[in-house]
């Protein structure tokens, strides 16, 4: 059974940093592209970032480019999102999600972790 479990969310002040983790199990993590998607309270889904299976290529939404960094450790079956220079508008539930294989649709989602940026 595919499982994606996010952690690392919490309350952070504007300008601060946070690192999210996503522990993957139930599939061969190193073979799949992975994504982060977020959802602000009461709002719709917003794609944040994706990374290739070997970590060699990444893409970002314009709203986070230069502030967020996606990475992965295939030996630990873990996906990361380093978030710096956080703003109030980054407040959201952050979902870790699996690509169906490579450059494909998202087929599995984690339960999400809440990030709140507030003073």
Question: What ranges make up the beta strands (E) of the chain?
Answer: 3-7, 10-12, 18-25, 34-39, 45-51, 58-60, 68-73, 78-83, 92-99, 106-109, 113-117
One residue of 29, 95, 113, 117 binding other proteins per CB under 8 A = 95
**Residue 36 · residue 96 · CB < 8 Å:** yes
Question: Is residue 45 a contact point for other proteins (CB under 8 A)?
Answer: yes
Question: Is residue 3 a contact point for other proteins (CB under 8 A)?
Answer: no
Whole-number minimum distance, CB 55 to other proteins, in Å?
A: 16
**Residue 94 · residue 48 · CB < 8 Å:** yes
Question: Is residue 51 a contact point for other proteins (CB under 8 A)?
Answer: no
Question: Is residue 103 a contact point for other proteins (CB under 8 A)?
Answer: yes
90 φ/ψ angles, rounded to the nearest 5 degrees: -85, -5
Stretch of residues binding other proteins (CB under 8 A), selected from 21-29, 67-75, 80-88, 101-109: 101-109
Look at residue 90 and give its three-state secondary structure.
helix
One residue of 7, 21, 30, 59 binding other proteins per CB under 8 A = 59
Enumerate binding residues for other proteins (CB under 8 A).
35, 44-47, 50, 59-62, 95, 100, 103-112
């Amino acid at each position: 059974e595919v499982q994606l479990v996010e952690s690392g969310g919490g309350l952070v002040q504007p300008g601060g940093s946070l690192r999210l983790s996503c522990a993957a199990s139930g599939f061969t993590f190193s073979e799949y592209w992975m994504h982060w998607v977020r959802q602000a309270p009461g709002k719709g889904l917003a794609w944040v970032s994706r990374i290739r299976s070997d970590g060699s290529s990444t893409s970002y939404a314009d709203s986070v480019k230069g502030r967020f960094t996606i990475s992965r450790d295939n030996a630990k079956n873990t996906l990361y999102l380093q978030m710096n220079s956080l703003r109030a508008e980054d407040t959201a539930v952050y979902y870790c999600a699996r690509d169906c294989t490579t450059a494909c649709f998202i087929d599995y989602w984690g339960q999400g972790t809440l990030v709140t940026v507030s003073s």
